[in-house]
Amino acid sequence: MNKAFVKDEPAGDDDDDLPGAPALPAGSRNYMTPRGYGLLKQELDDLLRRERPKLVEIIAWAAGNGDRSENGDYIYGKKRLREIDRRIRFLIKRLESATVVDPAEQQNIDQVFFGATVCVCDADGSSSDQTYQIVGVDEADAGSGRISWISPLARALIKARAGDVVRFASPAGLREIEVVDVRYV
């Protein structure tokens, strides 16, 4: 097939549209815990210092092998290099716009704010206690108990105190939960 009719790369190379990349609400800050900031910084350093240079070396070797149109190492390498460069630009943008909030420095420790670790249970007592930490968009992992500050549960918990009952819309419908404990670690 003629190269003129093959679309190699999407026209809109928008860094904010990375697959799986969580979006920030328009006009809001990119809050992060020191741990989350460190993990993103570590990923960026790893991409810049280790993975990208190794890939550039492989591409240079593959390019020296002759015909590039049927050279799998070259074609795959260029595609992977574009993915890495896109991720690097994304990480740089996120780190530059980050507002690092250390939960250990929170003054009002009896209320739920960003960085709080909150223990909750169903208001009717039907389930066991669950613990969540309210973290930044890029560090959220519900399976590990870290929820994004923009999630419906986190928004319902903000400014609540131990003993308060809050309502929020979950995928299963409207739920009421009671705040059992609030900690800042």
Residues 39-85 pLDDT 10s: 999 999 999 999 999 999 999 988 888 777 778 888 899 999 999 99
The CATH class of 30-100 is mainly alpha
Q: Alpha-carbon torsion 49, 51, 54, 58, what sign?
A: negative
> So what's the pLDDT on residue 11?
44
- Domain ranges across the chain: 30-100, 103-183
The CATH class of 103-183 is alpha beta
Q: How far apart are CA 177 and CA 117, in angstroms?
A: 15
> So what's the pLDDT on residue 145?
94
pTM: 0.79
Residue with tokens 């070396």: 57
- Residue stretches of the chain with pLDDT short of 50: 1, 5-6, 10-13, 15
Q: What six digits make up the tokens of 175?
A: 């739920």
Identity of residue 86: R
Q: Do domains 30-100 and 103-183 have the same CATH topology?
A: no
> So what's the pLDDT on residue 12?
47
> So what's the pLDDT on residue 132?
95
Q: Alpha-carbon torsion 15, 20, 26, 31, what sign?
A: negative
> So what's the pLDDT on residue 33?
95
Q: How far apart are CA 129 and CA 122, in angstroms?
A: 8
Give the orientation angle of helix 34-46 with respect to helix 72-96, to 10 degrees: 150
